Structure formats: structure tokens, C-alpha cells
Amino acid sequence: MTERLRRHRRTKIIATLGPASSTPEMIAQLFLAGADVFRLNFSHGAHEDHARRIEMIREVERKFRRPIGILADVQGPKLRIGTFQSGRVQLSAGQHFILDMNMAAGDTRRVCLPHPEIHAAAEIGATLLLDDGKLRLRVLRKQGEALLTEVLNSGTLSDRKGVNVPDVVLPIPALTPKDRADLNFVLPLGIDYIGLSFVQRPEDVAEAKALSAGRAAVMAKLEKPQALDNLEAILDFADAVMVARGDLGVELPPEEVPIAQKRIIRAAQLRGKPVVVATQMLESMISAPAPTRAEASDVATAVFDGADAVMLSAESAAGQYPREAVNMMDRIVARVERDEDWRKGIDAKRPAPEKSSADAIAAAAVQVAQTIGAQAIVALTESGSTALRVAREKPDCPVLGLTASLAVARRLAAVWGVHAITAPGVHSMTQAVENALKISRAEGFVKKGDEIVIVAGIPFGQPGTTNALRVARL
């Protein structure tokens, strides 16, 4: 029988699957190297490709008897220009350039922008960013269904490049018809998180949650300045959030992105919502076997800030060194968490408990565990909320999340410090204590004479009733 796997770090790792990592052998290698959650990027790949990846992940899960989370990341509303007669044009700073609704191929004077929402919402003076911000245009005048703009910097523009509109809240839903088709396909296959792209308002999250109908948690990707304006409201709706620094770094000045990252992490921590830091974390490892020192520092910063998880994108999906990238991230995270200043920083940033019995019990459990030197806090959790509340306190000892639901255990795979385990439900505190001790020992967390702290909700089987705390010795 395969030995049960245990991570010796709290911060989780998400690895994106793609052409470089879509065999059973490679997925198993990535899991053993440190991946806790696998991301499927629905901007690429056919439905049957993703279905095969899901089956391979579940086979690895069965083999190693550890719950593995799956994040289905939908594309969202991609705004793009049309095509050019010659495939590309050279634009010069100061020249005028027209964006219109004419589907004819463009030239150095104009190109199609087939998005009436942008034409309607753009104001005089608004900035349009093309090709990931490489070209910047300023709106000078609106002429019917056309925008007359001034080119702010010289550069080449080619077919179907993306458009970002940082100054405007666009009246477009976060879920496109493609996203809905993708989710209708993948939700019945058993995913754990929906990655919702280009969230602007809490209503975007509500729309995804209605479509999910409880089958998957919704992770709002924060990559637009408008999302930062509505951060607290979005967090109230979302189950988790991602600091998606790719598009966020296009629409915000570069110097603002680290500040936004820290603000998002802090706001998510206050609410006990998992928060992921993503994009370009070990970018050079797409083609090199080792990261730059700056990239290693970037991963470390997210860990010092208390992010629940850090994510690899192209590094594991299409790079030449997918296993090495996951292993490197695992090594960086583990090293940071052994540092004395990391623990001091985590303790200093611990949020005050909310005024609820669940938070009071979670905070007390952490205090008791620290006082008695407990080897683990065992959270018996029906919906995952008890484990989330304890994880919010960032205890010094591991958190064992015991749940009868495999779906809940898989979602907890993305949560800071939680070692999720599926176990049959219990009906009394005596039974709960016996199970907690037995499982803690079997999982290698305690030995004879060690103490654990147990947190649960009574009556058992009712979600959201965290109200009981026990100390037990093996």
C-alpha cells in the first residue's frame, strides 16, 4: 500500500496543466514534487483534453490517497481588435488612429474594434491599452461608432491583439457564452474551484455561483482596477480570490501591483477567504532549469505575506522543466516557513477574531494549542468552514481538516496549513475525540503522550455550528 503523503509546509502550490504536463506519469511527478491543486486553463485546449486531465488527476488522487483540488479557470471576456491587410502595422507616437465597428481589414489609419460596449463606455481622455499594454492610445473624440484616438507611444500592432480599458467599468458579464459552455461541460466531472476571470463587480461572482449551484467554489480573479474599487464587496461574495498579476500589471502602473497584492491578501485574510498569488512567479523556468533570484524573492514575498497558495502557469503547463519548477517552488516555500522572521510576521498580521462563536472557538483553539504545545489542531468540518476559521488564525501547528465529504476535502487542498482527510461522520464528542486521535496518529502527526486540540460543531452533521473545543492526549 502506498504511504500516505504529508507536506511539511503550510502554503499550498497550484500547478497549471498543459502540453508539457498531461500524462499520468508527469501529473504524478508534479504531485510528488509539491502540487496540491491542479489548474485547467480553459483559454486553451479542447473539452476532451480537459476531461482526460481530470481523470488522470483523480487516478493520482486514488493512488496516493490524498485529496487533490482542481481549479477550472475560464477565459472570460477577451477584448480584441480585428485584423490588418498586411497582418501588422507600425504606429508612431502622436499619430491619430481610429477604432471602429467596420469588419474590413485595417491599415495604418484604422482597425476594427468589434466591442460596442467599449465604444459606448469610453470617455474622452480614456486610455486604451493594446497588446498587453505595449501600445497606449488616448481617446480624443467619439464619432458615431468610432473612436478617434492619439497614439501615445510607437510600436507594432498585429492581428487580434488584446485590448484593456483600465479607466472604464464595462457593462459586460464576467461569464461569456464560451465560459458557460465550458462550465456546463466540466462541472459534472467534479471540479473544486471555478477561476472567474476579469471580475469587476460582486454581481459577476453571484452569476458564477448561480451557475455552479454549489458544485464548485468560486475563485474571483482580481485583474482589473475596478475589482480593487469593489474589493470588499467582491470578497463578501467570493469563496476565494486570486491576485492575477498578468492583466492587473497591464491595467495598473507596475509600481502599484505589489501594493495591490498586499491589500488583496490582507483583505482576504480578514474574511478567512483563501487567497492565491499568481502569474510569472518562476517565469524564467519556462526555458531554464533554475529561477532568477528575483523570482525566488517574489515567491518568498507571497509566503511572508501569508498567501494561502502560490501558482505556476506556463512554467508547469508548457515549460521545459515542469517538475523542476514545482520542486523549486516547494523548496522556496518550505525554506521561508522555517525562518524565524516568517513566523513573527505571520503572528503580527493575525487578524482579530470576528464577533462570532465560531471565531471565538477557532482563536481559543490556537491559543490553547500554543500554550500546551499541541502537535495538531483537528477541525471536524461538515462544510469546510470550521477548518477555514482555524486556518485564518495561522496556527503554529498543523491543522487536520476531518470531513465526511471528499468534495470539501478537495477544496481544503488550497487552504493554508490544512491537511485535509476524509473520515466517516461522528455522532458524539466521545466518538469525535477517538477518531481525531486515531487519525492523527495514522497520519503521522502524533505519537504516544502527545496532545491535540479538537474543534467541532454540536450537534454534529450541521454545517456552520463551530462551538466546541476539547484537548485530548494519545
User: 423 is written with which cell numbers?
Assistant: 473520515
CA 200 – CA 224 distance, rounded (Å): 7
CATH of range 357-473; options 1.10.510.10, 2.10.210.10, 3.30.530.20, 3.40.1380.20:
3.40.1380.20
* Annotation marks residue 178 as catalytic: no
Burial bucket for residue 317 (CB in 10 Å: 0-12, 13-18, 19+):
buried
Q: Which residue is catalytic, options 80, 161, 266, 335?
A: 80
The domain made up of 12-76+173-340 has a fold known as TIM Barrel (3.20.20)
Contacts of 471 (CB under 8 A, 6+ apart): 368, 372, 374, 451, 452, 453, 454
Amino acid 135 reads L
Cβ burial 205-234 (10 Å sphere, 16+ → b, else e): bebbbebbeebbbbbbbbbbbbbbebbeeb
* Annotation marks residue 80 as catalytic: yes
The SS3 of residue 141 is strand
User: pLDDT at position 441, please?
Assistant: 94
* Annotation marks residue 292 as catalytic: no
Cβ burial 296-305 (10 Å sphere, 16+ → b, else e): bebbbbbbbb
Q: Which residue is catalytic, options 12, 201, 221, 245?
A: 221
β-strand 418-422 against 399-403: which pairing, if any? parallel
Largest CA-CA distance found in the chain, in angstroms, rounded: 79
Q: Which residue is catalytic, options 149, 279, 381, 466?
A: 279
Q: Residue 312 — φ and ψ, nearest 5°?
A: -105, 140
User: 373 is written with which cell numbers?
Assistant: 504545545
CA 432 – CA 420 distance, rounded (Å): 16
* Annotation marks residue 221 as catalytic: yes
User: pLDDT at position 426, please?
Assistant: 86
The SS3 of residue 358 is helix
Contact yes or no for 146/118 (Cβ under 8 A):
no
CA 144 – CA 190 distance, rounded (Å): 47
Instruction: Read off the DSSP letter of residue 435.
Output: H
Contact yes or no for 391/272 (Cβ under 8 A):
yes
CATH annotation of 88-164: 2.40.33.10
Domain residue limits, the chain: 12-76+173-340, 88-164, 357-473
One-character DSSP codes across 284-333:
GGGTSSS--HHHHHHHHHHHHHT-SEEEESHHHHTSS-HHHHHHHHHHHH
Averaged pLDDT in 10-residue chunks for the chain of 474 residues: 74 98 97 98 96 98 96 94 97 97 96 94 94 94 94 96 88 92 98 96 96 97 93 97 92 92 97 96 97 98 98 97 98 97 93 87 94 96 93 95 96 97 89 93 93 90 80 92
